[in-house]
Structures are given as structure tokens and as C-alpha cells.
Amino acid sequence: MADTFDVVIIGSGPGGYVTAIRSAQLGLKTAIVEREALGGICLNWGCIPTKALLKSGEIYEQLDHLGDYGLSVEKRGFDFAKVIARSRKVAGQLNAGVAFLMKKHKVEVIEGTARFEKGSMAPKVVVALKAGGSREVQAKHVILATGARARTLPAAGLEPDGERVWTYREALVPKAAPKSLIVIGSGAIGIEFASFFRALGSDVTVIEALPRILPVEDEEVSKAAHKAFEKRGLKFRVPANVKRLTKTKSGVAVEVEAGGKTETLEADVAIVAVGIVGNVEDMGLEALGVKIERTHVVVDSHGATGVPGLYAIGDVAGPPWLAHKASHEGVHCIEHVAGLGPTNIESPIPGCTYSTPQIASVGLTEAQAKEQGREPKVGRFPFRVNGKAIAAGETEGFVKTVFDGETGALIGAHMIGAEVTEMIQGFTLAMTLEATEAELQATVFPHPTLSEAMHEASLDAYGMVLHI
């Protein structure tokens, strides 16, 4: 006989474990199935450990500028093994935190790999347990939160081997920092690893097939980022297509085509960061009648798959592939399951890249607003004239706002500079509350702060900027 629950969640990343907590809060008997480690890729191999690495790189890079602050040190260097160990320790701490939360909320954790059994009145899941054997669990509602993994291109030689060709996973635990590195793909993952290894002195070249780096960002931000990264020593091939990667005696050789010409780049290691694919295999989804497009489960606005009682959230349900989007979708999905009423109001989802400088955005770019037939009012304010930025020695970058010219609604915001990933939530909240230029212009921002640039950019869109 199968063990029965109200809700079974497959996957314990930020989508899965947050959904489980909310499910338990709503009084539902809940179980979560995890085949690897609680916290999923984000806490163990993604969001959290990469930020620990980036912080080490940021601090090390700042040592070059100590003299600007009237400071000095006698010796400059790093212990790479300790840098990696700290990152893994941080990941372990968060993993233990999720385990505590599951216990606190009385969510049963089942360690193993899940597969659906066809022919049951309610979704039945058979779990191949880590400890051996199997266990059957059944629930009125099953939520897929299985996430995604790095896309590889074996035909072009872009298949990780753990030594010379890495995905984000291998890049988190190398034995040493490579002297030279090629990063294939300039999205957030590629740029963050490029920033980290460059900060520690690696010679880094980034290859991007599209016309500009960070292609999902506003074009002005992409251009500013390109310039800032080159200033820090990063090299770029944009736009350029990777034709073939081959392994050499000392590393890798990457054949690149750009502008009708072909060149071969050589490095110790290559990182493949060309997107992700949903984890939809080997669960019996097709046999259940689940619709899958381009490796992602097709769902409605509540996360429902069309198969009674089966839902999907987060990365496995498609872009944007962001941890906070997965958590948000999970809470909405379980509240819908619990019958709490219409909670499918679309909320703006911010995106962040934790490079140096940082990049953050929410809503429409200026170009997207124009493509929709709007007449946007655009404001900009540079950090070079912001008092706090000058005092902190962080004058690089700017804030850009996009307002609807007809209604005055804030429809987009884009930032590049120090700590902007901590500031974007202000614009996200404003958009969630459907704020217009009037509310933002009337908001009092504390002085001195970097956030004053947000206020000035809002003023600038309407010709009212104060400090330029």
C-alpha cells in the first residue's frame, strides 16, 4: 500500500522546499522527495556557493585599490583551496538550514529518485530510495520542482569531463584556479564565473553568439558592462559562434567563427554556460500525458499541467530560470491547491548578475517598451555624481528607469554598479504596487545612499533631475 499525503513535492530547491513549508503552514500533510541534497542546485551548486566565491574574488580584487583609501598591506595572495572550502561550507550551512525547516514544519523528507506510476486514480509516485529498496507514495496533488541542469552540446565537443571542460558544477570545485580560461556564453552564469576567475588573475575570454553580452539586459547596460569588464581585463568575442572544442595536451582549443573569419583560441579550461534544460527525463511524465516543450513542462497560470492533480513550478516549468521565481510560483501554486482564491496576479520578477560591477533589472527594457507600441519616458542617473558612491569609491555605473509615457506607470528599471542587486527590490516593489512617476518622485530616499540614484533617475525621466 502506498503512503498517502495531501501533497507530494518532487525536488527540494528554492521552489520545492518553500512550497513544502507553505503547504505545511496551510495544514496539508506534506512530503518532499529529493534525490541529491536538500536545497537543490541553488543552495548546493548554484546561487549560494557562487556568491561565496564571488565575494572572495571581490575582496581580493579590492586589494589592488587599498592605496586609494589610504591603506596598505605587506603581502597579497590567496589560498585557493580555502576559497573553495569556504564556498562549500556556506553551501553546507544552508543545506542544514533547509533540513531544520523541514523538521520544524513536519514535512516528511524522502531521499531518493521519484518516478510516476501510471493507472492510479490519484498521482502515485514510486521512489527508489537512496538507502536501497523503494517506497510508494500517493497524494491528491503532486508538484514537480525538479529544476534544470546545464545545457551541453556534445556534437561541438561541449561535453563536461570534470578536468578541461566544466559546467557551473565543476567550476565550483576545481583543484586550482586555471591560468587561462574560455567561457562559452555571456549570460549571468558565464559572466559571474568569468568575473570570479579574472579577479584571481586568470586570463579569461568570453565567447557570445548573440550581438552583445548579457543579451537579456537593456542594451545600454550591456554596453556599459562590456566596457567595465574589459577594463578589468576580460576579453570578448562577440558575436562569435563556437564551431568545435577539442582537447589538447595542455588544455582546450576552441574554434570560433566571427565575421566570416575563423580563429582558434587556446586555454587551460573551458566553461560551458550556454543555457539550461529542464529535468523531465525518466519520471514517466510522457506516459501520464504531460505536455513537454523544449525540455520544459507546459503549465497554466497556476502551475497545472493538464493532468489532474499534477503541477510544475520553477526551472522545470520554463524561464526565467531564477530561484526567487521558483519560490514565488510554488507559494502561488500551493495556495491555489488549498483553495485560497485567485492569487495569480503576475508579479514583476527581477534579475541579478553578481559580477563586478553588479547588474540588476526588472520589467521591460526601453527597446521592449517601444516594440509594444508604447512611448516610454526614460530617466538615467550616473553613480559618478552620487555622494555615497563617491565616498565609497564606487562611481561606476548608473540607474535607468522606464515609464509608460501615457499612464506614468513604472514599467522597467535597469542598473549597473555597486550593490545594485540589493537595490532592485525597491523598483520591484514599486511595480508590484503599480506605482507611477508621481509616487516615486514623492518618495523620500535617505541620504547619503546609493539608492538616491533611483530617485534621481525617476526625476530625470520627467526633466526634474536635481544633481546633474
Strand, helix or coil for residue 468: coil
Query: To which residue does cell 506614468 refer?
Result: 408
Distance CA 56, CA 418 (A): 16
Residue environment code for 41-57, b if the CB has 16+ CB neighbours within 10 A, otherwise e: bbbbbbbbbbbbbbbbb
Task: Out of 336, 447, 455, 467, pick the active-site residue.
Answer: 447
Identify the CA nearest to 208 among candidates 186, 226, 234.
186
Is-catalytic flag, 447? Answer: yes
Phi, psi of 143, deg, nearest 5: -115, 120
Q: Which three cell numbers stand for residue 424?
A: 532592485
Consecutive H or E run containing 258: strand 252-258
The Cα–Cα gap between 215 and 187 comes to 7
Q: Which is nearest to 208 in space by CA: 231, 234, 232? A: 234
Please state, in angstroms and rounded to a whole number, the distance separating the CA atoms of residues 106 and 20.
10
Tell me the three cell numbers of residue 406.
501615457
Position of cell 549597473? 416
Rounded CA-CA distance 76/351 in Å is 34
The CA distance from 165 to 435, in Å, is 47
Identify whether the C-beta of residue 160 lies closer than 8 Å to the C-beta of residue 184. Answer: no
Catalytic residues, by residue number, are 447
